[in-house]
Homo-oligomer: A and B are copies of this chain.
Amino acid sequence: MKPIGPIPPEFAAQSGMLTIAGRSAADWAVEAGTPLFVYDTAIVAARVASFRAAFPAVDLHYAIKANPLPALLQFLAPLVDGLDVASAGELARACVVKRADAISFAGPGKRDAELADAIIVGATINLESEGEAGRALAIAARLGRTPRLAVRVNPDVELRGSGMRMGGRASPFGVDADRAAALVRSLIAAGADWRGFHVYAGSQALNAQAVAEMQAATLVLAARLAEEAGASPPLVNLGGGFGVPYFAGDTPLDIASVGAALSERLDDRPAVLRDTRFAIELGRWLVAEAGVYLTRVVDRKDSMGETFVIVDGGLNHQLAASGNFGTVVRRNYPAAVAHAMGAPAAMTASVVGPLCTPLDRLGDRIALPTVNPGDLIAIFLAGAYGASASPTAFLGHPPAAERVAP
């Protein structure tokens, strides 16, 4: 038997039939069919409220790569101060729900057409290299527009203990810190509307002290670069990196303590940042716990002493939950039998999808109440990097349904 991760608090205390946004999992499955993602916007709103309480003086951006579903964007956009996008496709979705001056576009390898789109609508481009800066300026000149340009900095610090480190090392993201000020000066000299700095040092961190240290180091870095550039940044995007507890032993990030530490640092910030706004960019942390993936049991079988519960959903919709996306060691996401929340375990089984590959495993030897064909299995933490980050076409099954509730 292998452990599962913690079921999010909004669902963990339920007993009997799982309800999502006040409606039973069984009803959701009948209405939409399975497999199915349900996103509970009340949980998203609760995360936004927690953030606001912990970071009263900091802007909140949503990184829409975590979940770009239009109905979810429509809900979230009014609750956040900015949307961060990473492609022209995401930019187009963001423009439907947010003013362009609250949209920023990061990502290496932005094509000329993408830069042009951003300049035309007036979104801020987080420049990833001097080469990209040159292209953006040339395109803006050709279009007769003043581009909104920020400089993404590859920091000389990394986020300790993050699931994915993106700082303190050679990187495709951003301009090395020692060249950033020169780039800022050249942008200002070229007449661009310089919007500030973007620093992203890691993601999926659960250690409050590590996040606080990273934010403090980012403040120091931004101040140093501003001094070097001789210009105060209108905005410093401190990145994100707030993790959610996916696996056994994970505990939630203590954002109150992160917020308190940042607040102190902001109170004491250097003069060059006195009029600067600060933003934190969150994707996963806002939406992951709001999503539940519901999949129906098609078969149950025994093989060489082990039990397999075979469901109609799999890695084609939930690649990360299968352990095949950015993880070295496969571990179990939280899961439950939907009609038996809180019931004691009666069997150990692996939950596998319908794909003809051993990679398609949503639960590896987990303890479950008795489960039979026709039952629904819930996989939690399905709100981020699920439907949009999985190989939907693989093996020719239909896409999962998605519902935003209420």
Q: Which A residues have a C-beta under 8 Å from some C-beta of B?
A: 65, 68, 85-90, 92-93, 106-111, 128-132, 154, 164-166, 169-173, 176, 298-306, 308, 310-312, 314, 319, 324-326, 328, 350, 352-359, 373, 387-398
| Residues A109 and B304 in contact, CB atoms below 8 Å apart | no
Question: Given A108-B308, A166-B358, A324-B325: A90 and B395 within 8 A (CB)?
Answer: yes
| Residues B164 and A357 in contact, CB atoms below 8 Å apart | yes
Sampled A-B contacts (9; CB under 8 Å): A65-B356, A90-B396, A109-B314, A171-B304, A176-B302, A176-B304, A324-B324, A326-B359, A390-B394
Please report the C-alpha to C-alpha distance between residue A68 and residue B172 in the assembled complex, in whole angstroms.
Answer: 33
CB-defined contacts of A300 to chain B, threshold 8 Å: 131
CB-contact partner of A131 in B65, B299, B303, B396, under 8 A: B299
| Residues A106 and B172 in contact, CB atoms below 8 Å apart | no
CB-defined contacts of A319 to chain B, threshold 8 Å: 391
CB distance from A105 to the nearest CB of B (A): 10
CB-defined contacts of A373 to chain B, threshold 8 Å: 131
CB distance from A371 to the nearest CB of B (A): 13
Please report the C-alpha to C-alpha distance between residue A109 and residue B389 in the assembled complex, in whole angstroms.
Answer: 23
CB-contact partner of A171 in B87, B131, B303, B392, under 8 A: B303
CB-contact partner of A108 in B108, B164, B352, under 8 A: B352
Please report the C-alpha to C-alpha distance between residue A132 and residue B300 in the assembled complex, in whole angstroms.
Answer: 9
CB distance from A64 to the nearest CB of B (A): 8
CB-defined contacts of A132 to chain B, threshold 8 Å: 299
| Residues B176 and A303 in contact, CB atoms below 8 Å apart | yes
CB-contact partner of A358 in B68, B164, B324, B390, under 8 A: B164
